[in-house]
């Protein structure tokens, strides 16, 4: 009987994998490059989160990134120990077991005490900066942008001598999705980003994928569909370069010297956007 179950199980698995698209990695995989995963709004604990996580694991076999940046709403609803199990540990177990580091930003659904949760690498702070290769990341708490945080950001940006500067936080400064951009945050952050040469901004909050045309020289990505989806929520317009709002999604990124290669992938494994952008001061900035 057991044997029969095994055979049937094997047949089902084979059929499923045959119906899935092959993981098409179109990133250069250059030696010494900085490779990472971008995912936002993932902490529901529902089936779509697990399915996205499985797709990420499949892609990681071909694109071995070493860390992930999380754009907030890491845990929806209650934050009991069992919720962390269901909404973070279990779905991403294979990544955690492979020592993939998670670097989280806080979303509006996140208790700020998540800063003490070691796997999120916030080190007890609501905002922080870290460096990987030639990239400096600035993790902000866009839920509570107090003057202290702004002052800290300006100091850190000014002190950063890195080639690439990437800021990430929960609320998008530009988006075409229903809830719209955070224009108040933009009024405070954008001048600092422009002044200090931030290259790319990643945000979540809107449960879609979006890549916008560079705004004041800065590329903006919304990657907020790692579990929830606002179907058909984006509006094509002058801001838009690419959108995907028909299913859940995540983004893979690779930075090699002056180029950032990206590939957005749907829950079913299809590549929904891809391209390359270049660092500030190296000529053309459009893909």
Partner 1 sequence: MSLKEHLRLLTFVGLVAVLASATACEEPKRADPRDAVLADFAKRVDAYAALRNRLADSVGELDPTGSQAEIATRATSLAQAITAERNAAKPGDIFTPEVATILALLIKEEYSRRSDPVQETREDQQEELPDFVPRVNQIYPTTYPLATFPPALLPLLPSLPENVEYRIAQNYLILRDIEANLIVDFMPNAVPSGA
d(CA 124, CA 115): 5
Q: How far apart are CA 59 and CA 126, in angstroms?
A: 30
Stretch that binds partner 1, among 32-40, 45-53, 110-118, 226-234 (CB under 8 A): 110-118
Using the minimum distance from each CB to partner 1, give the nearer residue, 26 or 146: 146
Handedness of CA 186, 277, 236, 204 (dihedral sign): negative
Q: Per CB under 8 A, does 185 bind partner 1?
A: yes
Query: 112-129: string of b/e by CB count within 10 Å (b at 16+)?
Result: eebbebebbbbeeebbbb
Asked if 227 touches partner 1 (CB under 8 A), the answer is no
Residues 14-43 close enough to bind partner 1 by CB under 8 A? none
Q: Considering the rule CB under 8 A, would residue 133 count as an interface residue with partner 1?
A: no
Count other Cβ atoms within 10 Å, centred on residue 197.
17
Which of 21, 28, 116, 235 binds partner 1 (CB under 8 A)? It is 116
Nearest distance, CB of residue 74 and partner 1, angstroms: 12
C-alpha span between 2 and 6 (Å, rounded):
6
Q: Which is nearer to partner 1, 78 or 236 (CB)?
A: 78
Q: Is 144 an interacting residue with respect to partner 1 (CB under 8 A)?
A: yes
By CB under 8 A, which span of 24-32, 108-116, 218-226, 263-271 interacts with partner 1?
A: 108-116
Residue 181, interface with partner 1 (CB under 8 A)?
yes
DSSP state at residue 135: E
Q: Using CB under 8 A, pick the residue from 103, 109, 132, 248 that binds partner 1.
A: 109
Contact call for residue 113 and partner 1 (CB under 8 A): yes
Q: For the chain, how big is the Rg over CA atoms in Å?
A: 19
Exposure of 230 by Cβ count < 10 A (0-12 exposed, 13-18 middle, 19+ buried)?
Answer: middle
- For position 123 contacting partner 1 by CB under 8 A, the verdict is yes
Q: Which is nearer to partner 1, 143 or 263 (CB)?
A: 143
Quick one: which segment of 5-13, 102-110, 232-240, 256-264 binds partner 1 (CB under 8 A)?
Answer: 102-110
- Is 83 within 8 Å of 49 (Cβ atoms)? no
Nearer CB in complex with partner 1: 42/181: 181
Stretch that binds partner 1, among 52-60, 63-71, 105-113, 233-241 (CB under 8 A): 105-113
Among 28, 77, 232, 237, interactor with partner 1 by CB under 8 A:
77
Q: Does 145 bind partner 1 (CB under 8 A)?
A: yes
Q: Is 45 in the site for partner 1 (CB under 8 A)?
A: no
Cβ–Cβ < 8 Å for 72, 110: yes
| Number of chain positions touching partner 1 (CB under 8 A) | 38
Please tell me the distance from the alpha carbon of residue 217 to that of residue 39, in angstroms, as a whole number: 23
Nearer to partner 1, 51 or 154 (CB): 154
Tell me if 124 contacts partner 1 by CB under 8 A.
Answer: yes
Please give the structure tokens belonging to residue 263.
Answer: 């590939």
Q: What is the DSSP letter of 247?
A: S
Helix H or strand E segment including 274: strand 271-278
Q: What does the alpha-carbon distance between residue 139 and residue 191 come to, in Å, rounded to a whole number?
A: 17
What is the contact surface with partner 1 in residues (CB under 8 A)?
Answer: 77-81, 83-84, 107-113, 115-119, 122-124, 142-147, 171, 179-185, 187-188
């Amino acid at each position: 009987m057991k044997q029969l179950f095994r055979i049937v199980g094997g047949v089902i698995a084979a059929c499923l994998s045959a119906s899935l698209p092959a993981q098409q990695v179109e990133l250069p995989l250059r030696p010494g490059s900085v490779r990472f995963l971008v995912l936002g709004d993932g902490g529901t604990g529902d089936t779509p989160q697990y399915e996205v996580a499985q797709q990420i694991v499949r892609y990681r076999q071909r694109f071995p990134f070493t860390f992930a940046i999380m754009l907030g709403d890491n845990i929806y609803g209650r934050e009991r120990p069992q919720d962390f199990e269901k909404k973070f540990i279990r779905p991403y177990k294979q990544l955690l077991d492979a020592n993939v580091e998670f670097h989280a930003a806080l979303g509006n659904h996140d208790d700020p005490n998540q800063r003490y949760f070691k796997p999120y690498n916030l080190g007890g702070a609501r905002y922080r900066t870290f460096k990987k290769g030639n990239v400096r990341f600035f993790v902000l708490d866009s839920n509570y942008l107090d003057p202290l945080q702004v002052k800290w950001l300006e100091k850190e940006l000014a002190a950063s001598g890195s080639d690439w500067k990437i800021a990430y936080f929960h609320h998008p400064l530009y988006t075409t999705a229903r809830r719209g951009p955070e224009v108040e945050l933009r009024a405070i952050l954008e001048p600092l980003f422009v002044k200090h040469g931030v290259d790319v901004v990643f945000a979540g909050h809107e449960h879609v994928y979006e890549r916008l045309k560079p705004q004041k020289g800065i590329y903006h990505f919304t990657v907020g569909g790692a579990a929830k989806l606002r179907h058909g929520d984006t509006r094509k317009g002058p801001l838009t370069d690419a959108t995907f709002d028909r299913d859940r999604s995540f983004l893979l990124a690779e930075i090699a010297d002056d180029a950032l290669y990206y590939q957005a992938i749907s829950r079913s494994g299809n590549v929904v956007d891809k391209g390359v952008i270049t660092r500030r001061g190296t000529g053309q900035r459009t893909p």
